[in-house]
Amino acid sequence: MTALLETKNVSKYYGVLRALEEISIAIRPEEVVSVVGPNGAGKTTLVNLLTGLLTPTTGEVLFMGENIAGIGPVRLAERGLVRSFQLIQIFPQLTVAETIAAAVVSRQNKRWHLFANLATDQAIGARVAEVAEIFGLAQRLGTPAATLSQGEKKLLDVASAFALDPRIILLDEPTSGVSTAEKHGIMRTLIAAAKRAGVQSILLVEHDMDLVAAYSQRIIALSEGCVLADLPPERFFADPQLIEHVIGKRRRH
Protein backbone atom coordinates (compact mmCIF):
# COMPACT_ATOMS: atom_id res chain seq x y z
CA MET A 1 0.00 0.00 0.00
CA THR A 2 1.33 3.44 -0.97
CA ALA A 3 2.60 5.52 1.94
CA LEU A 4 0.91 8.81 2.76
CA LEU A 5 3.93 10.07 4.68
CA GLU A 6 7.46 8.72 4.59
CA THR A 7 11.10 9.44 5.15
CA LYS A 8 13.80 7.98 2.93
CA ASN A 9 17.27 7.65 4.44
CA VAL A 10 16.83 10.85 6.43
CA SER A 11 19.70 12.11 8.56
CA LYS A 12 19.85 15.32 10.57
CA TYR A 13 23.04 16.78 11.97
CA TYR A 14 23.62 19.88 14.05
CA GLY A 15 27.27 20.49 13.39
CA VAL A 16 28.96 17.31 14.59
CA LEU A 17 25.94 16.26 16.66
CA ARG A 18 23.91 13.48 15.07
CA ALA A 19 20.22 13.77 15.85
CA LEU A 20 18.97 11.24 13.27
CA GLU A 21 20.83 8.74 11.11
CA GLU A 22 19.43 7.07 7.97
CA ILE A 23 15.78 7.02 9.10
CA SER A 24 13.34 5.36 6.69
CA ILE A 25 9.74 5.05 7.87
CA ALA A 26 6.35 4.98 6.15
CA ILE A 27 2.85 5.86 7.39
CA ARG A 28 0.12 4.22 5.31
CA PRO A 29 -3.64 4.84 5.15
CA GLU A 30 -5.84 3.50 7.97
CA GLU A 31 -3.00 3.31 10.50
CA VAL A 32 -2.36 4.61 13.98
CA VAL A 33 1.43 4.58 14.26
CA SER A 34 3.17 5.40 17.55
CA VAL A 35 6.69 6.77 17.81
CA VAL A 36 8.38 5.90 21.08
CA GLY A 37 11.83 6.12 22.57
CA PRO A 38 13.81 7.43 25.54
CA ASN A 39 14.66 11.12 25.93
CA GLY A 40 17.28 12.09 23.38
CA ALA A 41 16.24 9.34 20.96
CA GLY A 42 15.44 11.82 18.19
CA LYS A 43 11.63 11.92 18.43
CA THR A 44 11.36 15.73 18.47
CA THR A 45 13.73 16.09 15.53
CA LEU A 46 11.75 13.50 13.57
CA VAL A 47 8.45 15.24 14.31
CA ASN A 48 9.90 18.60 13.24
CA LEU A 49 11.12 17.06 9.99
CA LEU A 50 7.75 15.42 9.31
CA THR A 51 5.90 18.68 9.92
CA GLY A 52 8.11 20.81 7.71
CA LEU A 53 9.81 22.77 10.46
CA LEU A 54 13.24 21.34 9.66
CA THR A 55 15.08 20.32 6.51
CA PRO A 56 17.06 17.06 6.66
CA THR A 57 20.80 17.14 6.22
CA THR A 58 20.40 14.23 3.81
CA GLY A 59 17.45 12.19 2.58
CA GLU A 60 13.84 12.97 1.67
CA VAL A 61 10.60 13.65 3.54
CA LEU A 62 7.59 12.90 1.35
CA PHE A 63 3.87 13.53 1.83
CA MET A 64 1.57 12.18 -0.88
CA GLY A 65 4.70 11.56 -2.92
CA GLU A 66 5.90 15.18 -2.81
CA ASN A 67 8.94 16.48 -0.99
CA ILE A 68 7.83 18.57 2.00
CA ALA A 69 11.22 19.19 3.61
CA GLY A 70 11.20 22.57 5.33
CA ILE A 71 7.99 23.89 3.75
CA GLY A 72 6.60 24.86 7.16
CA PRO A 73 3.49 23.80 9.08
CA VAL A 74 1.10 26.32 7.46
CA ARG A 75 1.72 25.20 3.88
CA LEU A 76 1.80 21.59 5.05
CA ALA A 77 -1.58 21.95 6.77
CA GLU A 78 -3.02 23.27 3.51
CA ARG A 79 -1.86 20.04 1.87
CA GLY A 80 -3.45 17.89 4.56
CA LEU A 81 -0.86 17.09 7.23
CA VAL A 82 -1.56 18.75 10.58
CA ARG A 83 0.10 18.70 13.97
CA SER A 84 -1.99 19.51 17.02
CA PHE A 85 -0.85 23.05 17.69
CA GLN A 86 -2.12 24.03 21.13
CA LEU A 87 -3.86 27.30 20.29
CA ILE A 88 -5.26 27.32 23.80
CA GLN A 89 -1.75 27.97 25.11
CA ILE A 90 -1.29 30.86 22.70
CA PHE A 91 -4.75 32.44 23.08
CA PRO A 92 -6.19 31.25 26.40
CA GLN A 93 -8.66 34.14 26.46
CA LEU A 94 -10.51 32.84 23.38
CA THR A 95 -13.70 30.85 23.82
CA VAL A 96 -14.02 27.27 22.64
CA ALA A 97 -15.93 28.48 19.58
CA GLU A 98 -13.32 31.13 18.73
CA THR A 99 -10.45 28.65 19.13
CA ILE A 100 -12.01 26.17 16.71
CA ALA A 101 -13.04 29.01 14.40
CA ALA A 102 -9.44 30.19 14.17
CA ALA A 103 -8.57 26.89 12.52
CA VAL A 104 -11.69 26.87 10.31
CA VAL A 105 -10.98 30.41 9.13
CA SER A 106 -7.36 29.50 8.40
CA ARG A 107 -8.48 26.47 6.38
CA GLN A 108 -10.79 28.67 4.32
CA ASN A 109 -8.06 31.25 3.67
CA LYS A 110 -9.90 33.96 5.56
CA ARG A 111 -7.01 34.66 7.94
CA TRP A 112 -7.34 38.44 7.89
CA HIS A 113 -11.01 38.40 8.81
CA LEU A 114 -10.70 36.05 11.77
CA PHE A 115 -13.26 37.46 14.15
CA ALA A 116 -15.03 40.08 12.05
CA ASN A 117 -17.18 37.48 10.33
CA LEU A 118 -17.67 34.83 13.01
CA ALA A 119 -21.06 36.14 14.03
CA THR A 120 -22.34 36.43 10.47
CA ASP A 121 -20.58 33.66 8.54
CA GLN A 122 -22.99 30.74 8.74
CA ALA A 123 -20.58 28.29 7.09
CA ILE A 124 -17.93 28.95 9.73
CA GLY A 125 -20.47 28.70 12.53
CA ALA A 126 -21.80 25.40 11.20
CA ARG A 127 -18.32 23.92 10.91
CA VAL A 128 -17.40 25.08 14.43
CA ALA A 129 -20.55 23.47 15.82
CA GLU A 130 -19.87 20.25 13.92
CA VAL A 131 -16.29 19.93 15.20
CA ALA A 132 -17.32 20.81 18.75
CA GLU A 133 -20.03 18.14 18.68
CA ILE A 134 -17.58 15.48 17.46
CA PHE A 135 -15.31 16.20 20.42
CA GLY A 136 -18.03 16.51 23.04
CA LEU A 137 -17.54 20.26 23.40
CA ALA A 138 -20.90 21.43 22.04
CA GLN A 139 -22.05 22.62 25.47
CA ARG A 140 -18.84 24.60 26.01
CA LEU A 141 -18.77 26.80 22.91
CA GLY A 142 -19.03 30.07 24.89
CA THR A 143 -16.58 28.99 27.58
CA PRO A 144 -13.12 30.62 27.71
CA ALA A 145 -10.53 27.99 26.86
CA ALA A 146 -8.46 28.87 29.92
CA THR A 147 -11.26 27.75 32.26
CA LEU A 148 -11.70 24.25 30.77
CA SER A 149 -10.54 21.14 32.59
CA GLN A 150 -7.17 19.76 31.50
CA GLY A 151 -8.88 16.94 29.62
CA GLU A 152 -11.19 19.36 27.82
CA LYS A 153 -8.22 21.55 26.91
CA LYS A 154 -6.55 18.56 25.27
CA LEU A 155 -9.69 17.77 23.30
CA LEU A 156 -9.99 21.41 22.20
CA ASP A 157 -6.36 21.46 21.11
CA VAL A 158 -6.87 18.43 18.88
CA ALA A 159 -10.31 19.62 17.73
CA SER A 160 -8.63 22.74 16.36
CA ALA A 161 -6.26 20.57 14.35
CA PHE A 162 -9.15 18.42 13.09
CA ALA A 163 -10.93 21.56 11.91
CA LEU A 164 -8.23 21.87 9.24
CA ASP A 165 -9.57 18.71 7.53
CA PRO A 166 -6.27 16.80 7.53
CA ARG A 167 -5.48 13.50 5.85
CA ILE A 168 -2.91 12.79 8.57
CA ILE A 169 -2.78 14.26 12.06
CA LEU A 170 0.28 14.16 14.28
CA LEU A 171 -0.54 14.00 17.97
CA ASP A 172 2.40 14.90 20.22
CA GLU A 173 1.72 13.62 23.76
CA PRO A 174 -2.04 14.31 23.49
CA THR A 175 -2.73 13.13 27.05
CA SER A 176 0.23 14.71 28.87
CA GLY A 177 -0.82 16.41 32.09
CA VAL A 178 -4.13 14.54 32.12
CA SER A 179 -5.15 12.19 34.93
CA THR A 180 -4.73 8.48 34.31
CA ALA A 181 -8.50 8.03 34.58
CA GLU A 182 -9.09 10.49 31.69
CA LYS A 183 -6.39 9.27 29.29
CA HIS A 184 -8.23 6.36 27.70
CA GLY A 185 -11.42 8.40 27.36
CA ILE A 186 -9.52 11.11 25.51
CA MET A 187 -7.80 8.59 23.23
CA ARG A 188 -11.07 6.83 22.41
CA THR A 189 -12.61 10.19 21.55
CA LEU A 190 -9.65 11.09 19.33
CA ILE A 191 -9.68 7.79 17.45
CA ALA A 192 -13.46 7.91 16.93
CA ALA A 193 -13.31 11.57 15.86
CA ALA A 194 -10.56 10.79 13.36
CA LYS A 195 -12.67 8.13 11.68
CA ARG A 196 -15.75 10.34 11.67
CA ALA A 197 -13.82 13.30 10.24
CA GLY A 198 -12.23 11.28 7.45
CA VAL A 199 -8.67 11.44 8.78
CA GLN A 200 -6.78 8.63 7.08
CA SER A 201 -3.93 8.09 9.53
CA ILE A 202 -2.69 9.19 12.94
CA LEU A 203 0.93 9.53 14.01
CA LEU A 204 1.14 9.44 17.79
CA VAL A 205 4.20 10.46 19.82
CA GLU A 206 3.56 9.04 23.26
CA HIS A 207 5.40 7.99 26.43
CA ASP A 208 2.51 6.09 28.00
CA MET A 209 3.06 2.48 26.94
CA ASP A 210 -0.45 1.42 27.93
CA LEU A 211 -1.89 3.92 25.44
CA VAL A 212 0.62 2.86 22.80
CA ALA A 213 -0.35 -0.79 23.28
CA ALA A 214 -4.09 -0.09 23.21
CA TYR A 215 -4.36 2.15 20.13
CA SER A 216 -1.43 1.47 17.77
CA GLN A 217 -1.35 -0.71 14.69
CA ARG A 218 2.40 -0.22 14.51
CA ILE A 219 5.13 1.03 16.85
CA ILE A 220 8.31 2.73 15.68
CA ALA A 221 10.98 2.81 18.38
CA LEU A 222 13.86 5.26 18.12
CA SER A 223 17.15 5.03 19.98
CA GLU A 224 20.14 7.33 19.60
CA GLY A 225 18.79 8.73 16.35
CA CYS A 226 18.19 5.36 14.68
CA VAL A 227 15.16 3.11 14.16
CA LEU A 228 15.46 0.38 16.76
CA ALA A 229 12.21 -1.39 15.80
CA ASP A 230 9.16 -1.01 13.56
CA LEU A 231 6.71 -3.66 14.70
CA PRO A 232 3.04 -4.42 15.40
CA PRO A 233 2.19 -4.12 19.12
CA GLU A 234 2.02 -7.86 19.80
CA ARG A 235 5.58 -8.36 18.57
CA PHE A 236 6.87 -5.17 20.15
CA PHE A 237 5.56 -5.98 23.61
CA ALA A 238 6.67 -9.61 23.36
CA ASP A 239 10.31 -8.47 23.50
CA PRO A 240 11.24 -7.57 27.11
CA GLN A 241 14.71 -6.37 26.14
CA LEU A 242 13.25 -4.01 23.55
CA ILE A 243 10.79 -2.58 26.08
CA GLU A 244 13.51 -2.15 28.65
CA HIS A 245 15.71 -0.37 26.14
CA VAL A 246 12.95 1.98 25.03
CA ILE A 247 11.51 2.99 28.41
CA GLY A 248 14.22 1.92 30.84
CA LYS A 249 12.13 -0.67 32.64
CA ARG A 250 9.98 -3.68 31.96
CA ARG A 251 6.34 -3.01 31.31
CA ARG A 252 3.95 -4.35 33.89
CA HIS A 253 1.10 -6.56 32.72
Kindly report, residue by residue over 186-224, the tens digit of the pLDDT: 899 989 988 888 899 999 998 899 999 999 999 999 999
Query: Any alpha helices (H) in the chain, and if so which ranges?
Result: 43-50, 73-79, 87-90, 96-107, 122-134, 150-162, 180-197, 209-215, 233-236, 240-247
pLDDT at position 111 over 60: no
**Per-residue pLDDT band at 108 (split at 50, 70, 90):** low
- Mean pLDDT lowest among 73-77, 96-100, 116-120: 116-120
Element holding 31 (H helix, E strand): strand 31-36
Question: Average model confidence (pLDDT) for the chain?
Answer: 87
Residue 90's pLDDT is: 66
pLDDT at position 150, please? 87
| pLDDT, position 251 | 44
Between the CA atoms of 208, 213, 217 and 220, what dihedral angle is there, to the nearest 10 degrees?
A: 50
Over residues 32-43, the mean pLDDT reads 92
- Nearest residue to 123 via CA among 101, 91, 92: 101
pTM over 0.85: yes
Task: Please determine, for residue 114, whether its predicted confidence score (pLDDT) is greater than 60.
Answer: no
Residue % of the chain over a pLDDT of 90: 51
Q: What is the reported pLDDT for 247?
A: 75
81-83 and 66-67 beta bridge pairing: unpaired
Query: Rounded to whole angstroms, how far apart are CA atoms 42 and 224?
Result: 7
